[in-house]
Amino acid sequence: MATKLFAAIDVGSYELNLKIVEFGPNGMREVDAVRYRLDLGTDTFSTGKVSIEKVDELCRIIGEFAKIMKSYHVTEYRAYGTSAIRETKNTHILIDQIEQRTGIRIDVISNSEQRFLDYKSVASKGDDFDKTIGKGTAIIDIGGGSIQISLFDNDKLDVTQNMKLGVLRLRERLNNLAAKPSRHGALLDEMIGAQLSVFDKLYLKNRKIENLIIVDDYISPITLKRTMDSDTPGFINAERFEAFFERLKVMNAVEFSRKYSVALENISLVFVSAQIIRSVIALTGAKTIWCPGVSLCEGIAYEYGESKKLLVSPHDFEEDIVACARNIGKRYMSDDKRSQTLESICMTIFDAMKKRHGLTERDRLLLRISTILHDCGKYISLYNLATCSYDIIMSTEIIGLSHAEREIVANVVKFNHRFFDYDATVSGVEHLGEEAYMKIAKLTAILRVANGLDKSQKQKFGCIKATLKDDVLTITVRTNKDITYERGMFEMRADFFEEVFCVRPQIKHINKL
Amino acid sequence: MGKADFSNPEYYYNRELSWILFDKRVLSEANDKTIPLLERIKFLSITASNLDEFFMIRVASLKDMDNAGYKKPDIAGYNPRQQLKLLNVATHDLVKEQYDVYDTLVEQLREKGIDIYKDDSRLTKKQAVFADRFFEDYVYPVLTPMAVDSSRPFPLIRNKSLNIGAIVRKKEDATQDYEFATVQVPSVLPRIVEIPNEGTEGKAYILLEKIIERNIDKLFLNYDILSMCEFRVMRNADLAIDEEEAADLLKEIEKQVKKRQWGEAIRLEINEGADSRLVNILKSELKVKREERYSIAGPLDLTFLMKMYDIKGYDELKEKEYTPQPVPALIDCTDIFEAIRKEDILMHHPYESFEPVVGFVKTASTDPDVLAIKQTLYRVSGNSPIVAALAEAAENGKQVTVLVELKARFDEENNIVWARKLEQAGCHVIYGLVGLKTHSKITLVVRKEEDGIRRYVHLGTGNYNDSTAKRYTDVGLFTCKEAIGEDATAVFNMLSGYSEPAGWNKLSLAPLWLKDRFIYLIGRERDNALAGHQAHIIAKMNSLCDPDVIEALYEASSAGVKIELIVRGICCLRVGIPGVSENITVRSIVGNFLEHSRIFYFENNKKPEYYCGSADWMPRNLERRVEILFPVEQDNLKERLKSILMTELNDTKKAHNLQSDGTYKKMSRARKSISSQQIFCEEAFSVASKAIEGTDKNDVMQTRRFIPE
């Protein structure tokens, strides 16, 4: 297999990263990596815009990145901007500036996409990752503004939750409180504990967590350095972490900086990060901590490698997204069995219509999620199901989905329960673009037909088959139960399906008797 | 019994005084009758240029501190003023020794047919005519005599320039007061002039200043020359650059280099017996104190002796020139990258040729698979083939990054020239990190091969200077190990202004944590000794004066670690202190080749580790410079380093052993005479010859050559 070079760029809140990665027979290998400290977050979070000086410097560094890429003859890259770029008022202007001046196009990703890529960056560690998530594991991804805790069960992602407990944010809060330094530890404990206790009640419950995986910029480098010569670099036990934390509390900043090779100005952030981790250890009872020392760039590269089939991931990330969606559904008292039936029907129709619908594998995933969350709004209101479902989905982060994708799912679910708004302006999807509008229409059509087939919610069909011939989609159902109601509901939805696909769906009932 | 206080100043030797001892060791080579005469002349010349630099930088620095009222004592407990006082005595003593040796050597040269005239008194008529014609044709046109009077102030005397001062009086009026006049001996002309030697087979020489003095009346036509003498001024030459404020470092250094000529006068050399009026004028105008005046009983500025070494026809008075041998692993090598992929390659210069390093860069510059070449340049040779190769590489479309250290002292102008040339060729030239000198010696070549990107790295202890590589001992390593390649990439990224990577694999960097690493390695031996395990350190370097490292060595020694140090120059550690340094020995090797390599061995309880690097154990290396320490892990190469260290520890001919009283002593004559440098030459020749056997016999003629006696 010939090798291929790829560049991943991460424009973060306080650091710019470039990694040149080589894909070869042995998987993914880092060939070059540069980091540059540039605080964009302070500008964005305080004034809402990145200052002109910072823009100039940002363009200069991205330009240097482009030169490095050129020196390696790299032609393919992905460049992502995260919260500082995402939350600035003039995002589009900024991105355009960068592209005009450097030739590099920055795509802005949502927090959920970013965390999913961070998660993939951990997965890029291969055996260590597979070994670790085999047991009850939590990943704690610590950023400047927020943290993301993801729980695994039987090596599948089960729950993921974002909390506004990022290191910069907490440090800012501490500074605003103007408390004595000796009180900082206790105050942090309170701030962190308040949100973690909610997380505990909602998600942890009696879950057994043995391993904690840390993704951060402060504790990970220290841990890696200190364990470099050990048999398991990056791994330490909870006792050792506790001992480190105690040393951190008593050592003066200069001493700590020297001993652990940490810049003096970052010591406070090291402390906050350590406190967060310590709190999570106390909450979960985790015994082992793993700091794989990864960054968003690894995740970007890993995802690229997967998409181009340059590497085969033993882990099914799509199932993680689905698992998270199921968990969200569970939270809103969705009927598991119903969702599964609906999902099965939708997938059958989707697969049968492959030659006609022009949708992608990704769209198939969106349809799956739509089926899982199709009636989450019932938790709020049986009457206002469409709006409530839409609002719930739009208010929830679904890890791995971009904001645009989430909005597609929300609209599909909404239109499943009410008439489709042909006017994009009225339906509020104009900003998503024509392609997204069509996706919503097509996925809605499939979901509505499938919904019609199980309108009684009694899961009357054991299995269904769908075949497309000429302009007719024949859905064969085998059951000995009365399907008069389903047939009626199906017919009402078939019109929209035919309108969208120019294919008439029809039921073929085979009575087992 | 309480724990010894290893920071006690009594346990340390003053750095500057230690340096004087080093220069004395070099002078001892000039005094060694077993060494060919012209080699001894060369050594004497080296002591003179060494001393000049010492004054311009070290003594000047102490003076600055004293002038500023700085009183903090050094590790040996002396404040700057006390050091200046002690140095004053030591340097006068050294200078006297230098000229004693000079007198001896001049006499011996005369016996061998090389006659250096002390003055013009011995000139025959024919010789006098020659000298005077030489003066008229070549010297007179470039002289600028200057008189000092009420309308013409005392001129600025350039740093290190040789001058003739005279007391003159107008011819027409004997009652008039005398005046001072001066003329610089032109440095554009040869200092030593060969004059016809009648009737003998030998050669005769006279110094340029003597020719000028003989004809000085021609410079001051209307004056009587009442007296004259030669004098020379040494000035503070350390650059004062505020890098933070310097908008353009390159321009700032160019500016400061020019200013070097006019720093504060810190030393005045003047002929012994010079007219007191002359002495007083110079003393007053140059503002030098009594102790800063040196009365010289001989020609000033003995660096001219280096030119004597190049005299033709006296090969019997020189060592046979040694030609560096081919590197065995690269004999018959058609593809250096292939050779490095096969195994790591260690080179020991100058015993083994530096050509492969030059060849590595040259090959990379034209190899179509090479994507990038990155290198640090500290001191390069004139017309450096490496610089030319880098420029060619950039022209061939490769990404070339060169870190040129502009602040390589006394090489600043040289480096500015090369920096500009490289920039014009399209190289990305970086001028290092603010406040830090980049002293590391590293080259990285990134190559796209069939199975992916591979990084080839050269790490060394010596500069990328093919000229000094023939005169200095150094070691270098070629490797393409992934762990080192990754670290090398990170080094250049950091030097380019990016952040430090999250972790390092094999390389240790100063000023990041190299010092901590050394202290950790020494501490590990100490802990092993305390635990009853074998504990041994052998360290070879140019200088040892970092107090933290010395303290760590004392601790280790007191715990029972055997410590053998090979320190060429300054050594602030004292040996033989009971309970402190009984287990430490220090030796200094001064020979034909300048010992320059840095090799470190740590026993590590029967799992020995070997390191080489660019850093000495000095604060400036460990805290204020970018330096690299690299491990040598391949078994056969570890054996080689072991052999190098053991051979140097067994040297009885060129090694000076540090005594507990701070003096150095050579081995007694009774022992077998072993010169480590000679052994390395013989070994390199033998190994290369064996490696060549079986190859094309015609190639043997390329390999060589002479072995020193």
Amino acid at position B640, single letter? R
Interface test with A, best of B454, B482, B499 (most A CBs within 10 A): B499
d(CA B389, CA A190): 63
The DSSP secondary structure of B56-80, one letter per residue, reads: IIIIHHHHHHHHTT-----TTS--H
Tally of structural domains, chain B: 4
Q: What is the CATH number of the domain that holds B463?
A: 3.30.870.10
For CATH 3.30.420.150, the residue range(s) in chain A are: 125-293
CA distance A71 to chain B (A): 6
Amino acid at B17: L
Task: Inspect the interface and report whether the beta carbons of B446 and A36 lie closer than 8 Å.
Answer: no
Chain A CB contacts of B453 below 8 Å: 3, 5, 22, 31, 72
For A23, the closest chain B residue by CA position comes to B452
Q: What is the ipTM of this complex?
A: 0.78
B167 and B94 share a domain?
Answer: no
The span from the CA of B165 to the CA of B181, in Å, is 6
Residues B451 and B525 in one domain: no
User: How many CB pairs below 8 Å do chains A and B form together?
Assistant: 62
* Pairing verdict, β B162-170 and B179-184: antiparallel
Task: Give contacts of A258 with chain B, Cβ < 8 Å.
Answer: 516
Same domain, B556 and B619: yes
> In this structure, are B522 and B626 located in the same domain?
yes
B352: closest CA of chain A, how far (Å): 33
Helix axes A267-284, A253-260, angle to 10 degrees: 80
- Alpha-carbon gap, residue A8 to A121, rounded angstroms: 12
Q: Is residue B695 one of the residues assigned to a domain?
A: no
| Least Cα separation, residue B252 to chain A (angstroms) | 25
Measured between CA atoms, the residue of chain B closest to residue A73 is B371
Closest CA to B404 of B431, B384, B375: B431
Nearest CA in chain A to B492: A34
Give the pairing of strands B442-449 and B370-377: antiparallel
Residue A203 pLDDT: 85
| Dihedral over alpha carbons B278, B280, B284, B286 (to 10 degrees) | 50
Q: Does residue B308 form part of some domain? A: no
Per the listing, tokens 């060939």 go with A31
* Three-class SS state of B655: strand
Tally of CA atoms within 13 A in the half-sphere of B544 that contains its CB: 28
Which residue, among A384, A409, A389, A419, has the nearest Cα to A492 in the 3D structure? A419
Q: Which residues of A touch B496 (CB under 8 A)?
A: 34, 64
Judgement on whether residues B150 and B178 belong to the same structural domain of the protein: yes
DSSP string, B274-291: --HHHHHHHHHHHT--GG
The one-letter code for the residue type at A447 is: L
Is residue B163 situated within a structural domain? yes
Q: Is residue B704 part of a domain?
A: no
- Out of B399, B489, B498, closest to residue A36 by CB: B498
pLDDT over threshold 70, residue A460:
no
Residues from chain B that touch A71, judged by Cβ atoms under 8 A, are 371-372, 399, 446
Q: Please state which of the four CATH numbers 3.40.50.2300, 3.90.226.10, 2.40.50.1070, 3.30.420.40 is assigned to the domain occupying A4-109.
A: 3.30.420.40
Compute the average pLDDT of residues A378-395. Answer: 90
> B133 and B70 in one domain?
no
Catalytic residues of B: 439
Chosen for mutation from B486, B498, B504 (greatest number of chain A CBs closer than 10 Å) is B498
- Separation of first and last alpha carbons in chain A: 56
Contact B631, B651 (CB under 8 A): no
Query: How far apart are alpha carbons A404 and A444 in whole angstroms?
Result: 16
pLDDT for the residue B82: 95
What are the C-alpha distances in Å from A426 to residues A417, A429, A430, B430, B632?
Answer: 16, 8, 8, 58, 71
Q: How far apart are CA B653 and CA B680, in angstroms?
A: 14
Across the interface, whether the CB atoms of B486 and A293 are under 8 A apart is answered no
Cβ contact (<8 Å) for A24 and B489? no
Q: Per the CB < 8 Å rule, is B399 touching A220? A: no
**Chain A residue whose CA is closest to B372:** A71
Contact list, B512 vs chain A (CB under 8 Å) = 261
SS3 label, residue B631: strand
User: Which residues, in sequence order, are CB contacts of A383 under 8 Å at separation 6+?
Assistant: none
**Domain span holding position B137:** 119-297
- Quick one: average pLDDT of A85-112? 91
Q: What is the Cα A209 distance to its own chain's centre?
A: 21
Whether B495 contacts B403, CB under 8 Å: yes
Number of other CB atoms surrounding residue A393 within 10 Å: 28
Min CA distance, B528 vs chain A (Å)? 18
Regarding whether B171 and B96 lie in a shared domain, the answer is no
Are B351 and B491 within one domain? Answer: yes
Q: What is the CA radius of gyration of chain A?
A: 25
Query: Confidence band (pLDDT; 50, 70, 90) for A457?
Result: low
Query: If contacts are CB pairs under 8 Å, which of residues 251-270 in chain A contact chain B?
Result: 258, 261
Assess if residue B252 is contained within a domain.
yes
The three-state secondary structure class of B432 is coil
Q: In chain A, which residue's Cα lies nearest the Cα of B511?
A: A261
Q: For residue B606, what are its two tokens?
A: 């029967």
Provide the pLDDT for residue B700.
Answer: 42
**Once rounded to an integer, what is the mean pLDDT over residues A312-338?**
85
Reply yes or no on domain A125-293 having CATH 3.30.420.150: yes
Q: Which residues of B589-600 are buried (b: 16+ CB within 10 A; e: fewer)?
A: bbbbbbbbbbbb
Cα torsion A335, A341, A343, A349: sign: negative
DSSP state, B222? T
Asked if residue B321 is part of any domain, the answer here is no
Interface of A with B in 417-456 (CB under 8 A): none
Residues 6+ apart with CB under 8 A from B42: B305, B306, B309
Of A203 and B643, the structure prediction assigns the larger pLDDT to: B643
* B158-199 pLDDT per residue, tens: 889 999 999 999 887 777 788 899 999 999 999 999 999 876
Q: Tell me whether residues B453 and A72 touch, CB distance under 8 A.
A: yes
d(CA B650, CA B468): 26
The predicted pLDDT at position B259 comes to: 62
| Contact criterion met (CB < 8 Å) for B499 and A35 | yes
Q: Which residues of A touch B506 (CB under 8 A)?
A: none
Low-confidence ranges of chain B (pLDDT < 50): 1-2, 242-247, 697-709
CATH number at residue B97: 1.20.58.310
Q: Name the residue with higher pLDDT: B606 or A224.
A: B606
Q: What is the CATH number of domain A326-510?
A: 1.10.3210.10
Q: Where in chain A is the domain with CATH 3.30.420.40?
A: 4-109
Looking at the structure, tell me whether residues B647 and B614 fall in a common domain.
yes
At residue B254, the pLDDT reads 64
pLDDT value of position A485:
77
Q: Average pLDDT, stretch A126-136?
A: 81
The distance of B354 to chain A (nearest Cα, Å) reads 28
Evaluate whether residue B184 is within a structural domain. yes
| DSSP string of A451-485, one letter each residue | HHHTTTSS---S-EEEEEETTEEEEEEE-SS--HH
* Nearest residue in chain B measured CA to CA from A260: B513
* Side chain identity at residue B257, one-letter code: V
Same domain membership, residue B140 and residue B266: yes
Residues of B with CB under 8 A from a CB of A: 371-372, 399, 446, 448, 451-453, 486, 489-490, 493, 496-505, 512-513, 516
Residue B480 and residue B339: Cα distance in Å, rounded? 10
The pLDDT of residue A488 is above 90? no
Q: How confident is the model at residue A456 (pLDDT cuts 50, 70, 90)?
A: low
**Cβ–Cβ gap A72/B446 under 8 Å:** yes
Same domain, B126 and B274: yes
| Cβ(B518)–Cβ(B617) below 8 Å | yes
- The enclosing domain of B134 has a CATH number of 3.30.1840.10
- DSSP letter for each residue of B361-422: HHHHHH-TTEEEEEEEESS--TT-HHHHHHHHHHHTT-EEEEEE-TTSTT-HHHHHHHHHHH
The answer for residues whose C-beta is within 8 angstroms of residue A94's C-beta and 6 or more apart is: A50, A55, A85, A88
In a domain, B664, yes or no: yes
B242 and B148 both lie in a single domain:
yes
CA angle, B207 then B213 then B218, to 5°: 130
Q: Which of A75, A125, A134, A81 is nearest to A103 (CA)?
A: A75
Name the segment(s) of chain A with CATH classification 1.10.3210.10: 326-510
* Peptide linkage before B511 cis (omega within 30 of 0): yes
Residue A412 near residue A443 (C-beta atoms within 8 A):
yes
